[in-house]
Amino acid sequence: MALTAIQSYVLDELRNGAEMTPEFIKLLVDDFMPIALDKKELYDRYTINNVPILRRPILDGTKVNNKVNNDFAGEIVDQKVGYVLGTAIKYSVDRTSYDKDEDGYRQAQGNINKFVVRNTMNDKDIELGKLVSICGVAGREVYIDKEGLEKVVNLPAWEMIFLTDGDGVVEYALRVHPELRMVNDKLKDVVCVDFYDENEISYYVEVESQEGSRYQLDNKQEKNPKPHVFNQTPIVKVVNNEEEMGDFERVINLIDGYDRTMSDVNSEIEQFRMAYMYFKGVKITKETIEEAKTAGGFEIPADGDIGFITKQMSDTYVENHLKRLEQNINRFAKHVNMSDPDFGGGDSSLANKYKLSALEMKSMILEVKMKTALLRQFKILTSAWKKKGIDIDYLDLNFIFSRNLPVNVAEEADENVKLKGLISERTRLGRLSFVNDVDYELDEMAQDALNDGFLEPEPSIQERVNINLDELDEDELTQTEEVNVDGEETK
């Protein structure tokens, strides 16, 4: 999404050599507040803290006013996040970049694995994907913890102002967040702003004055500004799509319509229990009704009549209306109704893939956007690692996403057998969903073959040359022989 006019103005000033000032901070924060409110409302909708039907007032105190919330928003987000990120992303180093340097490859992969485990990246990636799918955008900060180790943390959309270049790379960033502090002997929420650039982090706090609110450097910070160890701004912007829209944002009105219809029908059904009676040809008093409760009936003249006033409802009309609303919600949100009897069952995997095509298109966009963000994240990380002597090129990293779906293992195995000899073993094994590490699997297969006697242990150079120097006499040692060892000529 394009920068706002205020953001573009401040970014141009900073690029031209200006320093960040409290005036710039206030301009950016005031400009960002409406955007922050919109993003927070989307998140509150997901957490059921901002659902219109649950706030619907009772217009007539004598009527039933049921409030039924149908959590389409939660299901739409959770389905995509589980589908794309339910199976952990595989972080791997490109082996071909290390050519014959096997030790270098293993060391690089080992450093990546330690970072992934230390940061519980599967958990963080799922939560990041959830934030992005709800709000359309989120942030991730790279920082150094108290132990001097590299860590990452996710940042919600309603706290982040990104000043980016044309490719979406963050040049400057501001995190706007409330903090409970003691002001004039009273606890009060004050607005704190953390400003990030390529060299340091500056901490600002909002203060009140006679002229109004303004921002100043926070004197509670021991060091302000505080330098960081990275070669660029340690903030990554992650988007759901180029428009930065959440997954259910397009269908909010349809969801509200479904909630209203369901709530009204529910109220009507309950209202039937409070049905009114009519009396024909007889005058009924309160005393008569009270006596009828005891006697269990009314005495009426021959031409009189008593009955209930009921409201006729068309079940078919209501059901068709709800069905159409649900179909449109699923269609425009690219959501799949997994409870549909037509989905799954005995269908082939290919048939199910066609039914998942809309979800897959939406998921592929998130995958591409997250790969871009992860690449930028590791560009920041490797700049700090290089200072520690850990030399990893971020361009050598691969991020492999696997869809989280029920797997037909028998079908996979049958396909895998048919592919043997047609493609490389590495590619063939990589197509099996239950093989998490192809390199490990290849090593284990080689070890199994060795243990079963199908492979002979690799001979040493001495054995391959087949020379025993102890058995050679002096004349033979003075002779020159050319022996080919591993393709090299020696004398």
Which candidate, 241, 277, 481, 462, places its Cα nearest to that of 369?
A: 241
Q: Is 465 left (phi over 0), alpha (psi -120 to 50) or beta?
A: alpha
Cα–Cα distances (Å) from 383 to 103, 231, 235, 386, 389, in that order, read 22, 6, 14, 5, 10
pTM of the model: 0.79
Which candidate, 279, 366, 273, places its Cα nearest to that of 76?
A: 366
Q: Cβ neighbours of residue 77 under 8 Å, at least 6 residues apart?
A: 46, 130, 133, 134, 246, 247, 248
Instruction: Report residue 135's pLDDT band, with 50, 70 and 90 as the boundaries.
Output: very high
- State residue 15's pLDDT score: 96
Task: Report the share of the chain in percent with pLDDT over 90.
Answer: 55
Of the listed ranges 26-40, 185-199, 202-216, 273-287, the one predicted with least confidence: 273-287
Place of tokens 């239950």: 434
- State residue 106's pLDDT score: 92
Cα–Cα distances (Å) from 465 to 248, 457, 468, 486, 490, in that order, read 70, 16, 9, 10, 11
Which candidate, 264, 294, 292, places its Cα nearest to that of 277?
A: 292
Question: Quick one: average pLDDT of 319-337?
Answer: 91
Q: Which amino acid is at 133?
A: S
Separation CA 285–CA 283 (nearest Å):
7
What confidence tens digit (pLDDT) does each residue in 203-221 have?
Answer: 999 998 777 889 999 988 8
CB distance 140 to 91 below 8 Å = no
- Give whichever of 69-78, 93-102, 412-421 has the largest mean pLDDT: 69-78
Provide the mean pLDDT of the chain.
86
- State residue 350's pLDDT score: 63
Q: Which amino acid is at 456?
A: E
Which candidate, 254, 258, 261, places its Cα nearest to that of 329?
A: 254
- Which position has the higher pLDDT, 389 or 466? 389
In 142-199, which ranges are continuous DSSP H helix?
none
CB distance 261 to 319 below 8 Å = no
Instruction: Report residue 491's pLDDT band, with 50, 70 and 90 as the boundaries.
Output: very low
Instruction: Report residue 308's pLDDT band, with 50, 70 and 90 as the boundaries.
Output: confident
Which candidate, 108, 82, 15, places its Cα nearest to that of 356?
A: 82
**pLDDT at residue 455 greater than cutoff 80:** no
What confidence tens digit (pLDDT) does each residue in 360-414 have?
Answer: 999 999 999 999 999 999 999 999 999 999 999 999 999 999 888 766 677 778 8
Angle between the N-to-C axes of helices 72-85 and 357-387, in degrees from 0 to 180, rounded to the nearest 10 = 60
DSSP 198: S
CB distance 154 to 124 below 8 Å = yes
Q: What are phi and psi of 47, to 5 degrees?
A: -85, 10
Instruction: Report residue 457's pLDDT band, with 50, 70 and 90 as the boundaries.
Output: low
In 333-473, which ranges are continuous DSSP H helix?
349-355, 357-387, 409-419, 425-430, 438-451, 461-465
Q: Which amino acid is at 269?
A: I
CB distance 247 to 80 below 8 Å = yes
